[in-house]
Structure 1
Amino acid sequence: MVVEENKSAWADSDSEESSSGTSSSSESDDEVQCLMADDTDEVFDFSNLEFTHEDLVTTLNDMVQEYKKLSQSFEEVKTERESCAKKAELVSSSKMQADLSKLATENEELKSRSEEMLNENQRLADIISSWTRSSASLDKLHGARSHLVIKPD
């Protein structure tokens, strides 16, 4: 977007007509200056009568070109950032899938081990039950033997 030069005359908005009549003489002697700096630290004094309309148009066109460059750079950085974010999501997603697979494998191993322990508990319960029955039979046998023994008088 390049500004075309306007052929109409520029009105001086800082003319003496617009200054206040109630201001002190020291204030009216002070000159108001508007300064503008760009990347090259070049300063324009807009109150200078030598500053022309063409200078303003040239400066504005330079600013527009610089804005276009910065906008382009911004879009490139924005696109790269979004791309990096998507890659990070994919890496994170892949890592989550690997972790999930690992947890599923570990879960299956724990289920298998749990079944083995339940079977071992049942086997040990059967052994204890057998010992309990054997102990009861031994107690009966011992009791029957003690009745058979004749006591000497």
Structure 2
Amino acid sequence: MVAEENKITWADSDSEESNSGTSSSSESEDEVQCLMADDTEEEVKAEKESCANKAKLVSSSEMQATLSKLATKNDELRSRSHEMLYENQRLVDIISSCTRSSASLDKLHRGLKPSGDKIGLGYDSNDSSTT
């Protein structure tokens, strides 16, 4: 009979321990799961931030490369613009010089010929000898 009482007591204590152990182990598992979930969420957040920072760096380096290319292109265009302005001014000077030369030549030509002289270009040489 003592053995039966011991078994019942043992069984009761087991069931209490298992009930209390289950609840405490369940609470403990919840805490562990919560801690694991918090750690996982933090890791995920840290990984997302790391990826975002990498993306920013990549886009930043891409922007820097693009900016560098644009700056180079801008310098080339500015240089070409200066060359074209120089060439334009040179051509304006040439045209101006030709215009002045033509005006001077006309003035000189008018001053050398008498007003009634019909010798030269545009006149027939036979007409001048008969008059």
Q: Same fold (TM over 0.5)?
A: yes
Q: Quick one: which of 81, 84, 87 aligns to 2:51?
A: 84
Runs of 4+ in structure 1 displaced over 6 angstroms?
none
User: How far has the Cα of 1:106 moved from its partner?
Assistant: 0.9
Question: Which of structures 1 and 2 has the bigger CA Rg?
Answer: 2
2:101 paired residue number: 134
The answer on 1:118 being equivalent to 2:85 is: yes
Give the Cα–Cα distance (whole angstroms) in 1 for the partners of residues 60 and 116 of structure 2: 83
Residue 40 of structure 2 aligns with which residue? 73
Which has the higher mean CA deviation after the structures are superposed, 92-101 or 134-143? 134-143
Q: Which residue of 2 aligns with 1:58?
A: 25
**Taking structure 1 as the reference length, what is the TM-score of the superposition?**
0.56
1:83 Cα offset (Å): 1.0
1:57 Cα deviation after fit: 2.8
Mapping for residues 1-153 of structure 1, pairs under 5 Å: 54=20, 55-144=22-111, 147-150=114-117
Give how far 1:104 is off.
Answer: 1.8
Give TM-score, length-normalised by structure 2. 0.64
Which structure has more relative contact order (CA 8 Å, sep 6+)? It is: 1
Distance 1:108 1:150 in 2: 62
- SS for the counterpart of 2:47 is helix
- Count of equivalent residues: 102
5+ residue gaps in structure 2? 1-17, 119-127
CA RMSD of superposed structures (Å): 2.5
What are the superposed Cα offsets for residues 71-102 of structure 1, whole Å, 9 maximum, x if unpaired?
A: 11101111111111111121122112211211
* Helix, strand or coil at the partner of 1:68: helix
CA distance in structure 2 between the partners assigned to 1:110 and 1:150 by the alignment:
58
| Equivalent residue number for residue 26 of structure 1 | none
Query: Partners in 1 of 2:106 and 2:112 — Cα distance?
Result: 10
**Structure 1: tracts of 5 or more residues without a match:** 1-51
